[in-house]
Chains A and B, each alone.
Chain A
Amino acid sequence: MTSATAVHGELHAGPKPPPHGWRRLLAPGWLRVPWVTALFFGIGLGITVLVRWAEGWHPIWDGQVITTVELTAAPLGFLVGIGGFDYWARYAIGSPTRPEDHSGHGAHSWRDYFRVNTDHKVIGIQYLVTTIFFFVAAGLTAMIMRAELARPGMQYVGNQVFNELFSVHAALMIFLFIIPAFAGLGNYVIPLMIGAPDMAFPRLNALSFWLLPIAGLIMLSSFIVPGFGCGWTGYAPLCSTHQELGAVFFNMGVQWAGASSIMTALNFLVTIITMRAPGMTFWRMPLLVWANFTTSLLVVIATPFIAGSQFMSMFDHILHTDFFNYEAGGYVLGYQHIFWFYSHPAVYIMMLPGFGIASEVISTFARKPIFGYRLMALSLMAILVLGFSVWAHHMFVSGMAPWLRVPMMVTSVVIAVPTGIKVFSWLATLWEGKLNFSTPMLFALGFVSMFVIGGLSGIYLAAVPIDIHVSDTYFVVAHIHYVLFGGSLFTIFAGIYYWFPKMTGRMYDERLGKLHFWLTFIGFNATFFPMHYLGIQGMPRRVSDYAPRFADLNFFISIASFFLGASTLVFLYNMIVSWTRGAPAPANPWRAHTLEWQVSSPPPVFNFDEIPQVVGGPYEYGVPGARHAVFNGDRVVEEEEVKV
């Protein structure tokens, strides 16, 4: 491959000399964070108290109101302190800006990962490490829940704490792990895959990352407040008027995470539409790019709805509005309609990028073109459109207008058709391939098989009479874990292992990777499959205590879940040790055709030293002489060369 190690800082204006003495307190970074955060905290506090004093509202010093305001003010201070707005602020006040200053770009030491960095590759890794932190945190809450559920009756935690555990578990897993983990993988890979030097808006990209730790910490601290015990769905009126302040922490945590999602999605859309390399037509884009494109459309259209629902719920709580207060004419079911209008598309936000990853991995490790490439892309678009027409299938027993049930059932089962197309096409891609069972492939095949089970239980849930029986039971718990764990998480693991060499420049330990897969696969099925049975038999979800007849199976599930939890340690150990001490990775260890593998591992700061010219499809395995891209005409990537 080309020798691609040039540091771009030398080509452009060099970094400014570092500030000295007290001026370091003014420079963006961790020294500026504490005092600016404190300053914004003070401003928020001052405004609140001043307004209450001026209006004569008692008590003037109201902890609830102050805390709610601070959930906006203090994080803003943090963002200003760390430097998220510096460039725009300079631009706005007319100070000189240095567009060619790339000192905020790329990472030379680990410290560069802890500041506002505009390099999509650094941001991608920031995303992944942060989301894995919250994945572990959310996993630990699940372990505590399973400990409590191992025996009927109450042993370790109280009812309220238990309710908070599963609420925070889901909120973190969804908003701080699965959605942003896909955004992180996409951040790293998408610009490389389309032959772009970076994302379209690098500073916006950096800002969207720094919103995430804020959202995560807010959701975690709901335990301290306490009171977020109304489930990640936050149904009104339980969440809007029958909870302590913790519910507001959830409302605001969703706002920060949602803002992050929307910004990233806009960035993906503009990048994919405007920054493709010459020759990269839509029909030559890798399927992960297609998947991120459709996902980003979903995010941009749907996320404002959950933002709205959470604001309304919070206003009912704090400002005594009556959106969902039936006694004052509010409409309780309105919350569910608005919430699910986001949250059903959200399940595709959490699944389509996984479809993309599975397509990349299966094609590469089966050494075959993706079967039915165009139909694969079109079925993504079909899911996008249909995804907006099925939200009320979460509400079959909610007491909504009865006539709405059959149409929503029809659209829900129809989604099985494009989803089925994808599954069958992956199977056909395996057929007559040369299957290599590296860790990413194991996770991709694990995903296909588990997702089929999750998809079939989805048909049960779409059929209204069955749904009426199993709605809000452990059957639903089993179903969502088959699609989100067996589906999304397996593809995230596949993606992390697949691009690990590209991201870190080192190979992971293949034996540990395979061990991780098998432990996870067995632990996952042992934990979640029996839950189908519990649910059909009569165990409701979200309960800290259950009828004694479910005791044996729950004990088994708890043991299996600890086994599953422990399997994550193998993953973490492999990642940490391989990142620091793994064997150096070649540019293209998987002999893949897509563009990210045609540059060094890790890629140069601006990705491509020469702009690639795309000349064919991304998956032309086995086609004699076929190329996805050529570099500079004469520097054609030879198969033999790549193998080195």
Chain B
Amino acid sequence: MRRGVLARLVAVGLAAAAVTTAVALFVPWLPTPASKQADRIDFVFWFVTGISIAIFALVAAVILYSVVRFRARPDDDSDGAPIHGNTTLEIVWTAVPAVLVTAVAVVSAVALAQNGHVPKKHMRVNVLAQQFAWSFSYPKYQGLTVSQLRMPIGEAVQLKMHSKDVIHSFWVPEFGQKQDLVPGIETNVVITPKRLGTYPIVCTELCGEGHALMRSEAVVMKPAAFAAWVKEQETLAAKAAQGPAGGGPGLAAFNNNGCSACHTYKPAGSTGTTGPDLDNLPADARRAGKPLVAFVHESIVDPNAYIEKGYQPNIMPSTFKSLPKAQLDALVKFLIQGQK
């Protein structure tokens, strides 16, 4: 290859690399990391991006240069140079990519090992997923169960995850970590939050009709605020147990079946927003034109019989019709007694 050709090829390649680098740097590709694990993922991301820019620039340079330089004139029927191969070149473009991908694999394996590491001092949170809701419970705080994941900043949290029905997947883009929840097995993932804020939790594994709506939030709090929140929740739970709704088996059924994940209901201290607010059941029953008790019972066992305005059918699972009668009755009672 003549020196002039090489120089021009390098120039085109550098131009392509400059454009690609600009696209990589000036578009805010990655979400602002909010966990230590996300930082490591970002590092691997930029490592691979560097290699990719180099390869892309090389390919773009050769294609662009060839398209311009080797274009045949319309009346040119001749053939190109009969080059069949070049052993040195072929060895180079086998060996160099092999080295590059090995580097990618090594960097990835190290980051993976670090991200999987569970520090000695960590808090455990049990995650339960079902169609189409999340619930989080804290064994450290007597099984406090909520529909939003709250965690103190700086402390590693190990999520132990289970699914009640089909496969779901837990993902907070700002945390980087993602893990499927598989019926029948326990999966887990570690997150060490490092930035205060509220981040979306989304389900990323197709789990049925309401998959797109299976969202919640992860809140990273200062340790003091987190402790205050825990206290508040515990008081609420205690109040609920002695409150007008009576707590007891009804509250237990409400929490164990994941109702709190989707529904707001003050006597249970729940704040879910996927489904209608259960504090307004008498008004809903009037709109549906049914007596309150019958309406509540029907809405649990046959959720599509009446759909509150602003909500969609088929999102609430129809599996609750198989609840044992005692549990179902307790649940209905709990929901009726909590109404003002």
Please, which residues of chain B bring their CB within 8 A of the CB of A472?
Answer: 169, 171, 178, 204-205
Report yes or no: B182 in contact with A399, Cβ–Cβ below 8 A. yes
Closest B residue to A452 by beta carbon equals B59
Q: Pick the most buried of A331, A332, A466, A622: most chain B CB atoms within 10 A of its CB.
A: A466
> What's the nearest-Cβ distance from chain A to residue B311, in Å?
11
Q: Which of B41, B102, B179, B183 contacts A397 (CB 8 A)?
A: B179
Q: Which of A160, A371, A449 contacts B85 (CB 8 A)?
A: A371
The reply on A375 being an interface residue by CB < 8 A is yes
Q: How far is the CA of A405 from the CA of B115 in the complex (A)?
A: 13
Binary contact readout B13-43 vs A (1 if CB under 8 angstroms, 0 otherwise):
0000000000000010111000000101100
Q: How far is the CA of A473 from the CA of B178 in the complex (A)?
A: 11
Q: Which of B30, B205, B208 contacts A242 (CB 8 A)?
A: B208
Q: Pick the most buried of A159, A229, A428: most chain B CB atoms within 10 A of its CB.
A: A159
Report yes or no: B314 in contact with A159, Cβ–Cβ below 8 A. yes
Binary contact readout B49-83 vs A (1 if CB under 8 angstroms, 0 otherwise):
00110011001101100110011100011111111
Please, which residues of chain A bring their CB within 8 A of the CB of B93?
Answer: 420-421, 424
> What's the nearest-Cβ distance from chain A to residue B95, in Å?
9
Q: Which of A413, A468, A622 contacts B176 (CB 8 A)?
A: A468
Q: How far is the CA of A465 from the CA of B212 in the complex (A)?
A: 24
Q: Which of B107, B173, B210, B312 contacts A537 (CB 8 A)?
A: B173
Please, which residues of chain B bring their CB within 8 A of the CB of A405?
Answer: 112
Main secondary structure of the interface of B (DSSP, over half): mixed
List CB contacts (< 8 Å) of A376-432 with chain B.
Answer: 397-399, 402, 405-406, 409-410, 413-414, 416-417, 420-421, 423-425, 427-428, 430-432
Report yes or no: A413 in contact with B105, Cβ–Cβ below 8 A. yes
> What's the nearest-Cβ distance from chain A to residue B73, in Å?
9
Q: How far is the CA of A402 from the CA of B190 in the complex (A)?
A: 14
Closest B residue to A461 by beta carbon equals B48
Report yes or no: B84 in contact with A398, Cβ–Cβ below 8 A. no
The reply on A489 being an interface residue by CB < 8 A is no
Please, which residues of chain A bring their CB within 8 A of the CB of B225?
Answer: none
List CB contacts (< 8 Å) of A525-543 with chain B.
Answer: 533, 536-538, 540-543
The reply on A448 being an interface residue by CB < 8 A is yes
Q: Which of B66, B116, B173, B179 contacts A433 (CB 8 A)?
A: B66
The reply on A503 being an interface residue by CB < 8 A is no
Closest A residue to B212 by beta carbon equals A543
List CB contacts (< 8 Å) of A466-491 with chain B.
Answer: 466, 468-469, 471-473
List CB contacts (< 8 Å) of B208-239 with chain A.
Answer: 208-213
Report yes or no: A154 in contact with B312, Cβ–Cβ below 8 A. yes
Report yes or no: B182 in contact with A368, Cβ–Cβ below 8 A. no
The reply on A436 being an interface residue by CB < 8 A is yes
Report yes or no: B70 in contact with A237, Cβ–Cβ below 8 A. no
Q: How far is the CA of A154 from the CA of B312 in the complex (A)?
A: 10
Report yes or no: B29 in contact with A533, Cβ–Cβ below 8 A. yes
Closest B residue to A419 by beta carbon equals B97
Q: Which of B97, B178, B187, B210 contacts A417 (CB 8 A)?
A: B97
The reply on A235 being an interface residue by CB < 8 A is yes
Q: Which of A326, A366, A462 contacts B183 (CB 8 A)?
A: A326
Q: How far is the CA of A541 from the CA of B204 in the complex (A)?
A: 7
Q: Which of A160, A435, A449 contacts B209 (CB 8 A)?
A: A160
Report yes or no: A466 in contact with B183, Cβ–Cβ below 8 A. no
Please, which residues of chain A bring their CB within 8 A of the CB of B44?
Answer: 463, 465-466
Interface residues on A, range: 35 or more
Q: How far is the CA of A558 from the CA of B183 in the complex (A)?
A: 36
Report yes or no: A399 in contact with B180, Cβ–Cβ below 8 A. yes
Q: How far is the CA of A453 from the CA of B59 in the complex (A)?
A: 10
Q: Which of A369, A436, A437, A448 contacts B82 (CB 8 A)?
A: A369
Please, which residues of chain A bring their CB within 8 A of the CB of B179?
Answer: 397, 399, 468
Q: How far is the CA of A534 from the CA of B326 in the complex (A)?
A: 47
The reply on B6 being an interface residue by CB < 8 A is no
Report yes or no: B116 in contact with A538, Cβ–Cβ below 8 A. no
> What's the nearest-Cβ distance from chain B to residue A364, in Å?
11
In the complex with contacts A417-B98, A427-B63, A367-B72 CB distance below 8 A: yes
List CB contacts (< 8 Å) of B141-199 with chain A.
Answer: 165-167, 169, 171, 173-174, 176-185, 187
Report yes or no: B98 in contact with A471, Cβ–Cβ below 8 A. no
Closest B residue to A436 by beta carbon equals B72
The reply on B101 being an interface residue by CB < 8 A is yes
Q: Which segment of A133-141, A344-352, A544-552 sits at the interface?
A: A544-552
Please, which residues of chain A bring their CB within 8 A of the CB of B109?
Answer: 406, 409, 464
> What's the nearest-Cβ distance from chain A to residue B280, in Å?
23
In the complex with contacts A430-B70, A536-B30, A622-B82, A643-B77 CB distance below 8 A: yes
> What's the nearest-Cβ distance from chain B to residue A557, in Å?
15
The reply on B322 being an interface residue by CB < 8 A is no
Q: How far is the CA of A454 from the CA of B32 in the complex (A)?
A: 25
Closest B residue to A433 by beta carbon equals B80
Q: How far is the CA of A456 from the CA of B183 in the complex (A)?
A: 34
The reply on A373 being an interface residue by CB < 8 A is yes
Q: Pick the most buried of B27, B45, B105: most chain A CB atoms within 10 A of its CB.
A: B105
Q: How far is the CA of A230 from the CA of B167 in the complex (A)?
A: 11
Report yes or no: B84 in contact with A332, Cβ–Cβ below 8 A. no
What are the 5 tightest A-B residue pairs by CB atom distance, in nearest-first order? Answer: A326-B184, A538-B173, A622-B79, A433-B80, A543-B212
Q: Chain A interface (Cβ within 8 Å of chain B)?
A: 154, 158-160, 162-163, 229-231, 235, 237-238, 242, 326-327, 330-333, 366-369, 371-375, 397-399, 402, 405-406, 409-410, 413-414, 416-417, 420-421, 423-425, 427-428, 430-437, 445, 448-449, 452-453, 456, 459-460, 462-466, 468-469, 471-473, 533, 536-538, 540-547, 591, 620-623, 643
A-B contact pairs, 12 of them (CB 8 A): A158-B312, A366-B80, A369-B83, A399-B179, A413-B102, A414-B98, A434-B72, A449-B59, A460-B52, A464-B112, A465-B40, A543-B212
Q: Chain B interface (Cβ within 8 Å of chain A)?
A: 27, 29-31, 38, 40-41, 44-45, 48, 51-52, 55-56, 59-60, 62-63, 66-67, 70-72, 76-86, 89-90, 93-94, 97-98, 101-102, 104-105, 107-109, 111-112, 115-116, 131, 165-167, 169, 171, 173-174, 176-185, 187, 200, 202-213, 312, 314-315
**Other 9 A-B pairs with CB < 8 A, given A399-B182, A433-B66, A434-B72:** A399-B179, A414-B101, A417-B94, A434-B80, A459-B52, A472-B204, A473-B171, A540-B203, A541-B204
